[in-house]
């Protein structure tokens, strides 16, 4: 009820208490033994990679210049004030300066690294906790209901959610070193599997895990805290003596408020003259204009797409799904992997319209295939290489390099290192 109250007018639907038998009906996989009841509440979900790309593309549409695969290696000062940064192109290795009236450090868990470029003595602002997600087949959850256990026996949160045609299960919350190529450990995966068995009536084995990944949560430090679950998830804005504006510690849910606060501070720090108050609350993200609930049906009718493909394209691209469907009609209409709705057309669209430059960009950050099913992503690799290579004019050496980089990206994952028969494709083939 507190949740309803906090959601106010934005509440999707009111929550209600469920008796044990109704809880079991809503989520049949739940163990009946020891079950006393539950609370049914409504929440939204999204594909964070699609959201991230869409925000970047919308920023470009609004006049921003966006660079990917480019990193800040140093900050530039004049008379002790920041005047820009030195950045390095990760492909060419070329470094070049960028002038700026205000430098905003929005590097999440890595923000102290940038702050130390500004002031090597700056005290650390953040610690990080790592959390993993694993992906299981859709049969592990009902199609439109998730389940959250707010406090497991060891005080963690456990959830099973229907997500992108699969079941997403998470998560862990462990103090972590801040590093960029974080990978889930076998121990983390086993921890989640053990907890599924404890609360759910579905036998689950390591072979059912299609994919797993780990992420860092930026947490505003409290030196007295011994457990990262108790640290603040709220964002803070900090301005250093030289004018470095750091915004960090927030969540996806609060991203727009984080941006608003950061820009308001930037106006003051840089003595900027904004044309007016922030409009981001009313600026639709790309693909929002022209979207309607019946878009999947219209795509099916107009382009002859399969139902799951039309649903996926509408969800992932909004009204821009028509552009992807047009590419599909022009000869890129095959699925990248059986039993998944991703199309060859999305590879081309990712390169042409969403700044996709590498195979990993396309398979992990434009489509979600590598996150959902590593085996299927591997099997899709040759065709993705072919489409990207032809479109971008890659020579055989570059194709081999891309293949190796994608393999490196996947290979640290404990049991996903070799092609194996645990993907949806393999199961589809078995049941055919
Ligand atoms: C397991 C897990 C579950 C979560 N669940 C939720 C949830 O349900 N709801 C929710 O709202 N939030 C959730 N979060 C939190 C959310 O994902 C993060 O808080 C959020 O991504 C932080 O956003 P950010 O932009 O500050 O940092 P990030 O998303 O980490 O982005 C920082 C960016 O800075 C870049 N960068 C770093 N160094 C440099 C450099 N030198 N030069 C250029 N770029 C650089 C990085 O490459 C990265 O792209 C979850 C996080 C985890 C790990």
Residue-wise pLDDT for 301-346, tens only, equals: 999 999 999 999 999 999 999 999 999 999 999 999 998 999 999 9
Residue owning the nearest CA to atom 30 of ligand 1: 108
Q: Which atom of ligand 1 is the closest one to the Cα of 48?
A: 17
Distance CA 150, CA 155 (A): 8
Ligand 1: distance of its center to the CA of 178 in Å? 12
Q: What is the mean pLDDT of residues 147-170?
A: 91
| Nearest residue by C-alpha to atom 2 in ligand 1 | 131
Pairing of strands 104-105, 245-248: parallel
Describe the chain by its helix, strand, coil percentages, rounded to 5: 45, 20, 40
pLDDT tens figures, 77-124: 999 999 999 999 999 999 999 999 999 999 998 999 999 999 999 998
Residue 425 confidence (pLDDT) above 50: no
Q: Element (H or E) spanning 311, and its range?
A: helix 307-317
- Whether residue 427 has pLDDT greater than 90: no
CB atoms within 10 A of CB 223: 7
Residue 419: what pLDDT?
40
- State CA 200 to chain mean position distance: 26
Burial of 207 (0-12, 13-18, 19+ CB in 10 A): exposed
Q: Which atom number of ligand 1 is nearest to the Cα of residue 233?
A: 19
Report the share of the chain in percent with pLDDT over 70: 92
- Name the strand (E) or helix (H) holding 167: strand 166-170
Q: Are 16 and 48 in contact (CB under 8 A)?
A: no
Residue 4 above 90 pLDDT?
no
Ramachandran sector of residue 271 (left: φ over 0; alpha: ψ -120 to 50; beta: rest): left
Tell me, in angstroms, the distance from the centre of ligand 1 to residue 341's CA: 27
> What is the CB < 6 Å shell around ligand 1?
71-72, 106-110, 114, 131, 133, 170-171, 215-218, 248, 250-253
Residue 400 reports pLDDT greater than 50: yes
**281 φ/ψ angles, rounded to the nearest 5 degrees:** -65, -25
Report CA(113)–ligand 1 centroid distance (Å): 15
Prior bond of 171 cis (ω within 30°): yes
| Tokens describing residue 65 | 């210049």
Q: Which CATH architecture best describes the domain 295-431? A: Orthogonal Bundle (1.10)
For 146, list phi and psi in degrees, rounded to 5: -105, 175
> How far apart are the C-alpha atoms of 245 and 238, rounded to whole Å?
6
Query: Does 3.30.460.80 match the CATH number of domain 63-125+229-269?
Result: no
pLDDT at 423 over 90: no
Buried/exposed code over 154-175 (b: 16+ C-beta within 10 A; e: otherwise): eebebebbbbbbbbbbbbbbbe
Please tell me the distance between residue 233's alpha carbon and the centre of ligand 1 in angstroms.
12
Question: Across the strands, what pairs with 239?
Answer: 245
Residue 398: CA atoms inside 13 Å, Cβ hemisphere, count?
A: 14
User: How far is 160 from 196, CA to CA, in rounded Å?
Assistant: 9
pLDDT at 221: 67
At residue 413, the pLDDT reads 59
Spacing of C-alpha 306 from chain mean position: 26
Distance between CA atoms of 202 and 356, rounded to whole angstroms? 39
- Closest-CA residue to 57 (of 365, 325, 363, 309): 365
Atom 3 of ligand 1, nearest CA residue = 131
Distance of CA 77 to the CA centre of its chain: 34
Q: At what angle do helices 295-303 and 307-317 cross, to 10 degrees?
A: 120
Q: Is 352 helix (H, G, I), strand (E, B) or coil?
A: helix
Instruction: Evaluate if residue 223 carries a pLDDT over 80.
Output: no
8 Å CB contact between 210 and 372: yes
- Within 10 angstroms of residue 19's Cβ, the number of other Cβ atoms is 12
Per DSSP, 341 falls in state -
Q: How far apart are CA 118 and CA 82, in angstroms?
A: 8
d(CA 255, CA 248): 10
What's the CA gap between 23 and 33, in Å, rounded?
A: 12
The pLDDT of 255-275, averaged and rounded, is 94
Tell me which DSSP letter residue 398 carries.
H
**Ligand 1 pocket test target in 135, 217, 233 with most atoms within 8 Å of CB:** 217
Dist CA 370 CA 426 (whole Å): 16
Mean pLDDT to the nearest integer, 186-190: 92
Q: Quick check: 409 pLDDT over 90?
A: no
Mutate to test the pocket of ligand 1, among 107, 156, 169 (most ligand atoms within 8 A of CB): 107
Closest among 311, 316, 329 to 286, alpha carbons compared: 316
Q: How far is the CA of 227 from the centre of ligand 1 (A)?
A: 20
Q: What's the gap in Å between 255 CA and the centre of ligand 1?
A: 10
Pocket test for ligand 1, best of 52, 84, 252 (most atoms within 8 A of CB): 252
* Domains 63-125+229-269 and 295-431 agree in fold: no
How far from 116 is each of 104, 129, 240, 393, CA to CA, in Å? 14, 20, 11, 40
CA of 304 to the centre of ligand 1 (A): 38
Mean pLDDT score of the chain: 90
Question: Cα separations (Å) of 98 from 114, 151, 243?
Answer: 15, 47, 16
What pLDDT is recorded for position 324?
98
From 74, 108, 238, the mutation candidate for ligand 1 (largest count of ligand atoms within 8 A of CB) is 108
Q: Lowest mean pLDDT: which of 53-62, 271-280, 322-331?
A: 271-280
Give the closest residue (by CA) to ligand 1 atom 37.
107
The predicted-structure confidence for 347-387, as pLDDT tens digits, reads as follows: 999 999 999 999 999 999 999 999 899 999 999 999 999 99
DSSP line for 17-37: EEEHHHHHHHSTTB--TT--E
Q: What is the mean pLDDT of residues 403-413?
A: 84
| Among protein residues, the one whose CA lies closest to atom 48 of ligand 1 | 107
Domain ranges of the chain: 63-125+229-269, 295-431
What integer pLDDT is reported at residue 415 of this predicted model? 55
Q: Using an 8 Å Cβ cutoff, are 379 and 337 in contact? A: yes
Average confidence (pLDDT) over 238-255? 93
pLDDT for the residue 227 = 47
Of ligand 1's atoms, which has the minimum distance to the CA of residue 170? 1
Contact (CB, 8 A) for 133 and 212:
yes
Least confident of 6-10, 158-162, 266-270: 6-10
Among 201-215, 292-306, 405-419, where is mean pLDDT lowest? 405-419
Atom 32 in ligand 1: which residue has the minimum CA distance? 107
- How many A from CA of 413 to the centre of ligand 1? 20
Residue nearest to atom 33 of ligand 1 (CA): 107
């Amino acid at each position: 009820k507190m949740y309803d109250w906090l959601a106010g007018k934005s509440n999707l639907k009111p929550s209600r208490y469920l008796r044990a038998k109704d809880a079991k009906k809503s989520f049949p996989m739940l163990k009946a033994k020891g079950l006393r009841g539950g609370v049914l509440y409504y929440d939204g979900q999204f594909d964070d990679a699609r959201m991230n790309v869409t925000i970047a593309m919308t920023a470009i549409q609004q006049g921003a210049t966006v660079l990917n695969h480019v990193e800040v290696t140093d900050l530039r000062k004049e008379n002790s004030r920041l005047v820009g940064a030195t950045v390095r192109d990760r492909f060419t290795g070329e470094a070049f300066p960028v002038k700026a009236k205000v430098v905003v450090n929005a590097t999440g868990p890595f923000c102290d690294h940038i702050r130390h470029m500004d002031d090597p003595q700056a005290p650390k602002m953040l610690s990080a906790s790592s959390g993993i997600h694993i992906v299981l087949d859709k049969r592990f959850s009902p199609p439109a209901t998730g389940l959250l256990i707010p406090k497991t026996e060891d005080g963690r949160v456990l959830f099973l959610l229907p997500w992108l045609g699969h079941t997403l299960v998470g998560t862990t919350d462990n103090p972590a070193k801040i590093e960029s190529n974080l990978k889930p450990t076998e121990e983390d995966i086993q921890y989640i599997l053990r907890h599924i068995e404890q609360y759910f009536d579905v036998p689950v084995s390591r072979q059912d895990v299609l994919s797993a990944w780990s992420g860092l949560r930026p947490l505003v430090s409290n030196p007295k805290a011994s457990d990262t679950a108790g640290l603040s998830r709220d964002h803070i804005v900090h301005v250093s003596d030289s004018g470095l504006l750091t915004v960090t510690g927030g969540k996806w849910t609060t991203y727009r408020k984080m941006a608003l606060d950061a820009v308001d501070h930037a106006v003051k720090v840089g003595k900027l003259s904004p044309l007016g108050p922030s409009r981001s609350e009313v600026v639709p993200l790309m693909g929002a204009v022209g979207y309607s609930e019946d878009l999947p049906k219209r795509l099916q009718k107009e382009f002859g797409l399969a139902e799951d493909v039309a649903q996926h394209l509408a969800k992932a691209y909004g009204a821009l799904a028509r552009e992807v469907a047009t590419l599909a009609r022009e000869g890129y209409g095959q699925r990248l992997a059986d039993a998944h709705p991703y199309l060859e057309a999305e590879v081309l669209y990712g390169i042409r319209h969403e700044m996709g430059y590498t195979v990993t960009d396309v398979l992990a950050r434009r489509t979600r295939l590598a996150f959902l099913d590593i085996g299927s992503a591997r099997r899709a690799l040759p065709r993705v290489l072919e489409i990207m290579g032809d479109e971008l004019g890659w020579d055989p050496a570059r194709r081999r390099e891309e293949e190796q980089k994608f393999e490196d990206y996947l290979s640290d994952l404990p049991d996903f290192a070799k092609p194996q028969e645990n993907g949806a494709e393999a199961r589809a083939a078995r049941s055919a």
